[in-house]
Amino acid sequence: MAISTDSRFVHKIWQEEELSKMIKGGVPFPMLSDPGGKIGKVYGIYDEDAGVDIRGRFIIDPDFKVRAMEVLTPEVGRNPQELLRQIKAFQHVVNTGEVTPSGWEPGKKTLTPGPELVGKVWEVWKP
């Protein structure tokens, strides 16, 4: 989901006038309003002086554990493909117990954590 201090009306216009032209049918997830930054304050991204949530993204697992976060100022765009890659990596880790090296994609080599790997990662993983 997407959450910002913008009203649901602003989200509706953004979806209809902008997002739907970039993504067929618009973004396929709900956009929620956070008036007063209540949710943003919990995640440490609410800018009290400006009255807005700073752009951030959080990957939260089904147990409500924050697995990843990224906070950017508005002048730098985010990478949706990297977000999806990370979600797939976290799902793989949970399902297999393996760990994924930097830039891992489904089907690529993973690492099995354990004492035998200590000091030998360089032998197994070639970035």
Domains, in order of start, for the chain: 1-78 (3.40.30.10), 79-127 (no CATH)
- If you write DSSP's letter for every residue of 55-123 in order, what string do you get? EEEEEE-TT--EEEEEEE-TTS---HHHHHHHHHHHHHHHHHS-B--TT--TTS--B--SGGGTTTHHH
pLDDT for 44 equals 93
Which three-class secondary structure state does DSSP give residue 44? coil
pLDDT band at 123 (very low <50, low <70, confident <90, very high): confident
pLDDT greater than 90 at residue 66? yes
Residue matched to tokens 């790997």: 117
Element housing 4 (H / E): strand 2-4
What is the per-residue pLDDT across 12-61, written as a single tens digit (0 to 9) for each?
A: 998 899 888 888 888 888 889 999 999 999 999 999 999 999 988 999 99
Which three-class secondary structure state does DSSP give residue 7? coil
Environment class of residue 56 by beta-carbon count within 10 Å: exposed (0-12), middle (13-18) or buried (19+)?
Answer: middle
pLDDT for 37 equals 94
Instruction: State the average pLDDT for the chain.
Output: 90
d(C-alpha 116, C-alpha 112), whole Å:
9
pLDDT band at 124 (very low <50, low <70, confident <90, very high): confident
What is the per-residue pLDDT across 112-122, written as a single tens digit (0 to 9) for each?
A: 888 988 998 88
pLDDT above 70: percentage of residues in the chain: 99
d(C-alpha 17, C-alpha 110), whole Å:
42
